[in-house]
Structure 1
Amino acid sequence: MADRTIEREIRVEAAPEVVYEVISSPEHLREWWPDDADLDPVAGATGTVSFGEKPDGKVVALTVVEADPPRRFAFRWDYPEGETATEANSLLVTFDLVAAGTGTVLRFAETGFDEASEAQYRDHINGWNYFLPRLVPYVDRLVSAP
């Protein structure tokens, strides 16, 4: 099952600087993706994202691998607790931002599913299909707030 990648492209009506904050800052991430986020959006930093209510929720470790505002934010995640994220034990998520007129084109990709089960791959497809569309209306509310 090599070369399984999840890719999406979304147009967001906000400047790349705004979109970058929404995809990298815990206070913004919580509004469209995880239920909780604890991370410092700088390369090399480790943190977590949480889904669901404690104590039954799922806490997932992540490591920021690239933070290049306002162009790119990337992290490795979903690796075993207590281990360091590597290409062999984690998934890589990248957000590339390209200015497009008054807005931004966000190019999303998640890679690293070569050794993953079909169930995990499908779970991530379903997850991103649910969460990524929530980003646009959140940014719309953010930029239109007085």
Structure 2
Amino acid sequence: MKEEPFVIERTFNVDVQKVWEAITDKEQMKHWYFDLAEFKPEVGFKFSFIGGTEEEQFVHLCQVTEVIPQKKLAYSWDYQGYVGSSLVTFELYNEGASTKLKLTHSGLETFPSDNPNLKQENFAEGWTYIIGTSLNNYLNNSSTNG
């Protein structure tokens, strides 16, 4: 059965350029996302990182699939040693002095259902924290600190 993708939308009180830089600049990403060794917003660019829970860490294998500057960034999101393939898409909407971000994570149903860490509710919890709290705090702090 195909599940609906996970979608979260948030509006940030900063311009679209600041949000774009936050989601594409590896030095900024490490403050709110994951500490990536390398990242380039270029189609075909491959990157990996380790993340997960205290109980289990996963090697995330990703490849950028789409880039429209200041509008859209998408990349595959797979796990080393596990079947399944998903896609993470960030879409930015310029709303003048603010920016709406829509994150969609599709293909979650392709991951092993017997691993509780790979269930959709865990992705929902993780993305809600990453986008709603971590990125929000980073953008608010960086806009007030220059």
| Identity percentage of aligned residues | 26
Structure 2 counterpart of 1:130, one-letter code: Y
Structure 1 counterpart of 2:87, one-letter code: L
TM-score, length basis structure 1? 0.82
Local SS of the residue matching 1:126:
helix
Distance 1:114 1:60 in 2: 16
- Structure 1 match to 2:122: 123
- Structure 2 match to 1:107: 102
Contact 1:66 1:73 in 2 (8 A): yes
Local SS of the residue matching 1:67:
strand
Distance 2:50 2:67 in 1: 21
Deviation (angstroms), 1:79: 3.9
Distance 1:107 1:64 in 2: 17
Distance 1:57 1:2 in 2: 26
Distance 2:110 2:61 in 1: 18
Unaligned segments of structure 2, at least 5 residues = none
Deviation (angstroms), 1:130: 1.8
- Structure 1 match to 2:21: 21
RMSD, matched Cα: 2.1
Local SS of the residue matching 2:3:
coil
Unaligned segments of structure 1, at least 5 residues = 82-87
Deviation (angstroms), 1:57: 4.7
Deviation (angstroms), 1:112: 0.6
Question: Hey, which bits of structure 1, 4+ residues long, moved more than 4 A?
Answer: none
TM-score, length basis structure 2? 0.82
Local SS of the residue matching 2:142:
helix
